[in-house]
Amino acid sequence: MTDLIKHQGTVENIVGTHVKVRIVQTSACSSCSAKSFCSSSESKEKLIDIYDADTSSLHLGQEVVVYGTTSMGMRAVGLAFGVPFLVMVAALFVLYRLTGGDEAVSALGALLTLLPYYAVLYALRGRIKRRFSFQIETTDK
């Protein structure tokens, strides 16, 4: 069985089979009983896009549960942080060798290798958005 990441939310918009759901993302300490005495608790509202959803039983303002797999979250972290780190470290070593040991130029060049990486991610955002799709289910209340 796959682990699921679930959030309760409210349907904000329905266009065909595309649904936007507003969720409240909270930090771990937001449910703590001492949160009123602490300034570290925080929560944010986010809009989640769900594609190819069965919208026949949905209406605006309805409470729903949005879920995705933890593997989807790990892939997102890998694309956003893991791959760029590896690209940057590899470029640093290659540039260090090519520049004859000039650390400043190597470091700057390694940082600049991230620009094309993130440009490619941006260009492929539509395809990536479909791969990282959430599912929706209605709450039975």
For the stretch 92-110, pLDDT in tens is 999 999 999 999 999 999 9
Instruction: Place 90 in a pLDDT band, splitting at 50, 70 and 90.
Output: very high
Q: How confident is the model at residue 124 (pLDDT cuts 50, 70, 90)?
A: very high
Give me the domain span that covers residue 123.
Answer: 4-138
What pLDDT does residue 81 have?
A: 93
pTM, entire model: 0.65
Residues 6+ apart with CB under 8 A from 91: 109, 110, 113
* Distance, first Cα to last Cα, the chain: 26
pLDDT digits (tens, 9 = 90+) for 42-70: 667 888 888 877 778 888 888 888 888 88
Indicate the number of domains in the chain.
Answer: 1
